[in-house]
Amino acid sequence: MIRHTVTFRLKHRPGSPEEAVFLADSLALATIPGVKHFEQLKQISPKNDFHYGFSMEFDDQAAYHGYNNHPYHVAYVRDRWLPEVEAFLEIDYVPLA
């Protein structure tokens, strides 16, 4: 199992209609084959300046690769993520045991 996570800050003002549309449109990532347990998360720690996170799981590397190369994901990164995300940190985990 692979858990793919990303925490990020948008270029949009917090609470803005643009922020709401970005988050709503991002829910479609959950429909890409192989994506399991998709979550949108609000970051609440004062220890960093990210605002949101996405988390999802994949059964294996092949499923994760399929997600990364899926036409919807490629278009989402190009057309939404890169223009609208100001900063992010991506971390992918596998269980230790």
Domain boundaries, the chain: 2-93
Cβ(87)–Cβ(51) below 8 Å = no
Does the domain at residues 2-93 carry the CATH identifier 3.30.70.100? yes
Tens of pLDDT, residues 33-92: 999 999 999 999 999 999 999 999 999 999 999 999 999 999 999 999 999 999 999 999
pTM of the model: 0.92
* N-to-C CA span, the chain: 11
Find, among 88, 97, 82, the residue nearest to 6 by Cα: 88
User: CB neighbours (10 Å) of residue 22?
Assistant: 19
pLDDT at 57: 98
